[in-house]
Each structure stands twice: as C-alpha cells, then as structure tokens.
Amino acid sequence: MALLEKGSPRTWMHRHASLPLLISVLAIFAVEIHPVRAQQQYNNVSGYACTGVQPRCLAYAYYRTQEANATLNSTAALFNTSAANIVAANTNLSSVPATTPLANGSALYIPLDCSCLNNTYQAPTTKVVQAGDTMYNISIITFQALVTYQAIGAANPSIIPETMPVNTILRIPIRCACPTVRQQTDGIKSLLTYPIFPNEELSAIAKKFGHTEEELQVANTLPNSTIAAYTTLLVPQGTSTPGGNAGGPGSAPAPSAASRASQAHWLYSVSLLGVQSLLLLLLFYHAK
C-alpha cells in the first residue's frame, strides 16, 4: 500500500476530523475540574437559592442585641428558637439566666432551622406589627438586614406594606443557606449569615472569622472587596457549633477547612490555565 504523502487530502481530513473530539474532551475536563466553590450570589434580595446538597440544615445568624431589656428569651422568640439553643451556640452565656437583660450590643450566634422553600433557603419566624412599623424598618432595625423588606413583602402577598394593621402577624423569612458539596468536602460544617453594618469592611469581617478576603469573596461570588451596609455575607464555619470552641461570637473556623478551600481555589485556577493553554496550542497546530 502506498504511503500517504504529507499534506494529502486524506491526511488533512484525518488531522482535522479529530479536532472537534479533542476540544470536546478538553471542554468536559475543564468543567469537571471546576469546583462548586461559590455558594451564593451576593446581595440577592429574594434570599439565598437552594444550591446546597441538603434541603434542610442547621445554619446560624450573627445578631447584635439592640434593646436595653433584651434577654435570651426575647431574642430566642424573635428568631423562633429557644434560649437553650442560643446558649449551646454561645458558650460564654452558659451561666446567664434566660430572663437577665443582656448588655446592649452583645453579639450572638443564633441557630437557625434552615430549609428550602420555593427554591429559596429560609428560616421562618414571625413578627407582630406594632404602631409605626414598616416592612423596611422591620427588615433593617428589628432584624438588622437578616431579611430584606422585599422578601418580607413576598412572604406576605396579601398585606399592603403602606397600610399594615397593628397586631398583624407577618411571616419573616430569615436569610440562611446550607453548604454545597464542595464546601462540605473542604470541611465546612455550616454557614453563618452575617449582616453588614455601616463602615464595616470585608477585610475586618474576614479576620473576625479567621478567613481571608478571597475566601469570603468565593463564598459570596464577590468580584472584589466592595460590600454595602445592610446586606449580608455568608461566612463558612469549620465547626458544627460556631461559638462552641472559642467561647462566643467571633470564633474562627477550623484552620484546615479554610486552608483546603484556599488550596482548592488555587488548584482550580492553575488547572484551568493549563487546559486553556493546551486548547490554544491544539488550535494553532491544526490551523497550520
């Protein structure tokens, strides 16, 4: 059988017929190495989408007491939980009676029964309307932006925001989320909803919880370090009970969890760069 000459039609067809197959294989590989790192979109007014592996999980909210007579009992009632559950998440409160007023501005971890409803994660509670209440004030003042006024309106479609009767019971969908498969692989046990107060910066929030800015950017799909007051961040926690090991709010997650998440992000970036380079080389070769 005669050998095919270099540059013959059959050689050209054989070489270029394999190009789509190679590109398809590499494209699949690029998708497979993409870790499910980003938990949620930042500043989604409707709430966090049900992207986690679990339809229901234990989550946490970061809350600062703001009334002179706030107690564990009153705070628990606000979030539809119990004083005992709050104490379990805040070991520094183990000796505080449930009816004793807490210091104004006390930071607390609030355990949330987080579940998926209408494709959105939420921890439901209620609020009785008082004179002067608006959905906006309930969102920003009462719940410190742990729920948006838009989400309150959506949860109460039959109620007109401008004319809420006193003693009306509002459904309040507190923002929460469950970890993704990738986050669980990285050692993340739970997610904390952190409400951003005025003048807070991402770097300080990251330091408070033992994370880097990049780790919080990844967890919240943030393009940069810019954040806005009265929005929320999801903070990955490396322990099942956030305050259980450090005696209160501000405890850091397990270092190994944060480290693995950072390493996974680095490995993904390097791998993707390699795939892109190989694709360019193949395209250049077959174009010759």
pLDDT of 8: 44
Distance CA 197, CA 233 (A): 11
- Residue 210 in this model has a pLDDT that exceeds 50: yes
How does pLDDT run across 171-207, given as a tens digit for each residue? 999 999 999 999 999 999 999 999 999 999 999 999 9
Please, which residues have CB within 8 angstroms of residue 238's CB and are 6 or more apart in sequence?
A: 187, 188, 189, 252, 253, 254, 255, 256, 257, 258
Average of per-residue pLDDT across 240-259: 44
Q: pTM score > 0.85 for this model?
A: no
How many percent of the chain have pLDDT more than 70? 70
Q: Taking 60 as the threshold, does the pLDDT of residue 22 lie above it?
A: no
What confidence tens digit (pLDDT) does each residue in 130-143 have?
A: 999 999 999 999 99
Q: How confident is the model at residue 265 (pLDDT cuts 50, 70, 90)?
A: very low
Tracing tokens 């770097």 back to the chain, one arrives at 203
Does residue 30 fall inside a structural domain? no
The partner residues of 63 in beta bridges, in order of sequence, read: 108
What average pLDDT does the chain have? Answer: 79
Q: How confident is the model at residue 285 (pLDDT cuts 50, 70, 90)?
A: low
Count of structural domains, the chain: 1
- Tell me, yes or no, whether 170 lies in a domain: yes
pLDDT tops 90 at residue 18:
no
**Among residues of the chain, what percentage have pLDDT more than 90?**
63
Judge whether 141 lies within some domain: yes
Read off φ and ψ for residue 248, nearest 5 degrees: 150, 180
What's the pLDDT at 281? 57
- pLDDT tens digits, one per residue of 225-241: 999 999 999 999 987 67
Rounded Cα gap, residues 47 and 26, in angstroms: 35
Does residue 219 belong to any structural domain of this protein? yes
Q: What is the pLDDT of residue 33?
A: 36
The angle at the Cα of 160, spanning 157 to 164, to the nearest 5 degrees, equals 120
**Residue 87 resides in a domain:** yes
Please give the pLDDT value at position 219: 94
Whether residue 137 lies inside any domain: the answer is: yes
**Average pLDDT value for residue range 159-166:** 94
Work out the average pLDDT over 157-179: 96
In a domain, 251, yes or no: yes
Look at residue 87 and tell me whether its pLDDT is greater than 70: yes
42 lies in a domain? Answer: no
Q: Supply the range of the domain harboring residue 176.
A: 56-263
Residues 24-44: tens digit of each pLDDT? 434 433 433 333 344 577 878
Q: What is the dihedral of CA 107, 52, 179, 192, to 10 degrees?
A: -10
